[in-house]
Structure 1
Amino acid sequence: MRRSFAFKSTLLVIAWLLLAIACVQIPSRLFWPASFGALTLPLALGLNLAAVGYWLLRSWRVAVLPAAVAFLTWPHFQRGLALHPLRTEPAAQTDRSVRLLSANVRIFNVYAQLREKDPESPGKFIQWLAENPADVLCLQEFYNEPVGSRTGEGRLFRSADKIGQQAGRQVFVSKTLTNGAGAEFGMAIFSRFPIVGRGTISFDRLTQNHAMYADLRLPTGDTIRVYNFHLQSMSMDEKDIVDSYSSKAGLKKKGLGLMRRFKRGLVARSVQVDTLVRRFDRCRYPMLLCADLNDLPYSYTYDQLADRFQNAWATVGNGVGATYNGRLPFVRIDNQFASPQWQIGNFAVHYEIPYSDHFPTSAIYTLSEASSQVPKQPAD
C-alpha cells in the first residue's frame, strides 16, 4: 500500500512537472495565470529529483522513470541552478574574443535618496566602469550630463565621456528623455571595437523599457551585433512584496495591488520579448544579448530567449547567480545570451560592486571560425 502511494505520488509529480513546463511556453498576453504554474517549476523539478533518490533505495526499475524525466528536463533545472563543477579554465583570448559587461546602473544614484548609504557611490561606479577591461559595455538606466547641461554637479556625471572616449571606447546612447537641465536618461553601449551600425527598438512608444543594438567590427573583419534591452518592470516596491507575505494583514492590504502590477508586467514583457524575437530571427550576424529582463528564469520571457540562445550563466556558471541587490533572495533578472556561433569562456556576477540595486555581470565570448561564412549583411 505504501509503495503504491509513493508510485502514484511520483506520477503526480511528473505530471505537475510537465504541466509547469507547458505553462512556461504560454504567452502571458494570452493567458497570464499560466505564469503562476510556471513559477512552480523549480519545486516540481526538485521533487522529481527527490523521487529519483527515493526509488533508487526502493526499486531501481521504478527509479528509471523519474530519472529519465530528470535527464530530459535537465536544461530547465540548469536555468535556475547551474551546476558545472568539473568545468576547466577557458582557453586564452584571441582576436575573435569579446569581453562583455552588462549593468543596470540605476541612473548612477543621481538623486540624493539613492545614495544615502554611500554618498560617493556615483563617482565610484563610473570610475569602475571606465577602468573595467571589458571591450563592450551595455548599460541600462543610463544617466549622463553632457557639456552644457545645467545640473550643478560639475563633471561628476559626465559618464558618457568618462566611460567612452576617455577610456578608448566609442559610445552609442539611446536617449529616452532629456530633462530641462540637459541631462540625458536612457541606455548606452560602449565599445572598443568600431561601431559600424546602430539602431533603437521601441515597444509601442519609446520609454526606458526599450531595446538598442550596435553592429561592431572585430579585428578579424567579422561583424557582430550586440543587443542591449530593458524590459517592463513590475513597478512593485520591495517593501510591499516583503510586507505582503510577512502577515495576513499585509497580504490583505498589499496583495490585490501587487497582483494587478504583476499581471501588467507579465503581459507587457510577453509582448516585448515577442517583438524582439522577431528581430533576432531576421538577423544573420552573430549576436550577443545583454538584458535586464525583470523576469525570472522560469518565465515565458526567459524561455523564448533560452530556446534560441545560450544563456551565459546556465552554460558555464555554478549556483543560482542572483543579480538583484536587495532583500529578495536568489533573484536573477539580469542575463547575457549568445547565439550558437559563440563559445562562452566564463561568466561572473560582480557582488563586489554594490552601487545599484542590480549587480553587474561580465563574460568572455569567442567567435567560432565557421562564423566567418556568415553573410556580411544582416536581414534587419
Structure 2
Amino acid sequence: MRRSFAFKCTLLVIGWLLVAIAAVQIPARTFWPAAFVALTLPVALGLNLAAALYWLLRNWRVAALPALVAVLTWPHFQRGLAVHPLHLAGAAPKATAGQRVRVLSANVRIFNVYPQLREKDPASPDKMIRWVASNPADVICLQEFYNEPRPSRHDGRLFQSVDRIGEQTGRQVFLSRTLTNSIGAEFGMAIFSRFPIVRRGTITFDKLTQNHAMFADLRLPSGDTIRVFNFHLQSMSMDEKDIVDSYSSKAGLKAKGLGLLRRFKRGMVARSVQMDTLMRRFEKSPYPLLLCADLNDLPYSYSYDQLADHFQNAWATVGTGVGSTYNGALPFVRIDNQFVGPQWVVDDFRVHYEVPYSDHFPTTAEYRLK
C-alpha cells in the first residue's frame, strides 16, 4: 500500500515536471498563467531527483523511470543550479586556439549618482567607475549607465564615465542615450570595446526607455567580425521591501500580495514581447553573437528559455552553484546573464561578489571564437 502511494506520487511529480517544462515555452503575452506554473519547475526537478533516490533504495526497476526523466531534464536543472566541479577546481581543459575575447557585463545603477543610493558608502560611485575602467575586459556592456559629459560643480570629473572608462583606457564607446537631463547628464546603456566598432544600432521596445537593446559590430584582430548585444528587459517594478513583507506574515501577504502579482504579471507579459522582438533580430545576424543582459527574469522563464534554446549560457556552461547576481535581500536570484552562439567556446565565467556597489553584481567571462 505504501509503495503504491509512493509510486502514484512519483507519477504526479513527473507529470508536474513535464507540465512545468511545457509552461516555460509559452509566452506570457499569449497565456500569462503559464509563467507562474513555470516558476515551480525547480521544485518539480528537485522532487523528481528525490523520487529517483527513494526508489534506488526500494526498487531499482521503478527508480529507472525518475532517473531517466532526470537525465532528460538535466539541461533544465543546470539552468538554475550548475554543476561543473572541474571548472571550480581549475582543472577543466581550456581551448588554446581561437581569438580570445574577455567580456564584462554589469547593471551599474547609474553609478549611485543620487545621494540615497550611496548612503552606505559615499565613495561607491568612484569605486565602481574605477573598478570597471581598470578591468582587463576587451568588451564592457553596462546597463543603467550614467555619464556627465562636462565636469560638475559639485562632483568635478567624478561622473565623466565615458571618458574614464573609454578614452582614458583606449576603448571605443557606443552610448545609447534614453534621456539627457537639464544639466546635460546622459542616461542609457553603453558598450565599450578595445576592438574597432564598425557598426552600431539601437532597438526600442515600443518607445525608447531604459529597457531597450543596443548592438555593436566589432572587428577582431583575427579579421573576424562579431556582433555584441547589450539589453535590459522590462523591470519588475517591485520594491524589495514589499516582496519581503508579502511572505513574512499573513497580514503582509494580504496587503501586498495582490498588487505584487499584478505588477509581476505585467512585467512577464512585457518581457515575453521584448524577447520575441530580440530573437527575430538575433536570427538575422550575419556574425557570431555575444549577448549581455539584465533579463529581470529567472532561469525558469520564457525569456531565459528562448535564449537557452539557441545559445550557450556562460554560467550554465562552466559555473558551479546558483550564480546569483542580485545584490539584495532576495536570495538565489540570477537575472544578469551572458550568452554566446555555438561558434564560441566558454573558458570562464565569474560573478564578482567582491564588487557590492550596485544592486547587481558584475559578471565577467572569457570566450574563444572557434
Query: In the alignment, which of 113, 122, 129 is matched to residue 110 of structure 1?
Result: 113
How does 1:105-144 map onto structure 2 within 5 Å? 105-144=108-147
Q: How far apart in 2 are the matches of 1:90 and 1:194?
A: 30
How does 1:353-372 map onto structure 2 within 5 Å? 353-368=355-370
Q: How far apart in 1 are the matches of 2:274 and 2:300?
A: 17
Query: In the alignment, which of 97, 101, 109 is matched to residue 100 of structure 2?
Result: 97
Contact kept? 1:175, 1:184, Cα under 8 Å: yes
When residues 196 and 94 of structure 1 are mapped into structure 2, their CA distance, relative to the original with a 3 A threshold, is farther
Question: Is the deviation greater in 110-119 or in 56-65?
Answer: 56-65
Give the TM-score normalised by structure 2: 0.97
Which structure 1 residue ranges, 5 or more long, are not aligned? 369-380
Query: In the alignment, which of 225, 229, 232 is matched to residue 231 of structure 2?
Result: 229
Deviations 1:307-338 (A, max 9, x none): 00000000000000000000000000000000
How does 1:140-159 map onto structure 2 within 5 Å? 140-147=143-150, 152-159=154-161
How does 1:175-254 map onto structure 2 within 5 Å? 175-254=177-256
Alignment of 1:307 with 2:323, yes or no, is no
Report sequence identity in percent.
Answer: 78
Shift of 1:184: 0.1
Q: How far apart in 2 are the matches of 1:108 and 1:230?
A: 16
Q: How far apart in 2 are the matches of 1:261 and 1:154?
A: 39
Contact kept? 1:310, 1:338, Cα under 8 Å: yes
Q: How far apart in 1 are the matches of 2:251 and 2:60?
A: 48
Q: How far apart in 2 are the matches of 1:198 and 1:348?
A: 27
2:17 aligns with 17
When residues 24 and 164 of structure 1 are mapped into structure 2, their CA distance, relative to the original with a 3 A threshold, is same
Which structure 2 residue ranges, 5 or more long, are not aligned? none
Give the TM-score normalised by structure 1: 0.95
When residues 294 and 25 of structure 1 are mapped into structure 2, their CA distance, relative to the original with a 3 A threshold, is same
1:29 aligns with 29
Q: How far apart in 1 are the matches of 2:172 and 2:109?
A: 22
Q: How far apart in 2 are the matches of 1:275 and 1:281?
A: 10
Aligned residue type for 2:262 = R
Aligned residue type for 1:179 = N
Contact kept? 1:104, 1:141, Cα under 8 Å: yes
Shift of 1:89: 4.1
Contact kept? 2:86, 2:92, Cα under 8 Å: no
1:2 aligns with 2
Q: How far apart in 2 are the matches of 1:181 and 1:303?
A: 41
Q: How far apart in 2 are the matches of 1:85 and 1:205?
A: 44
Q: How far apart in 1 are the matches of 2:174 and 2:86?
A: 39
Shift of 1:259: 1.2
Contact kept? 2:100, 2:367, Cα under 8 Å: yes
Shift of 1:177: 0.2
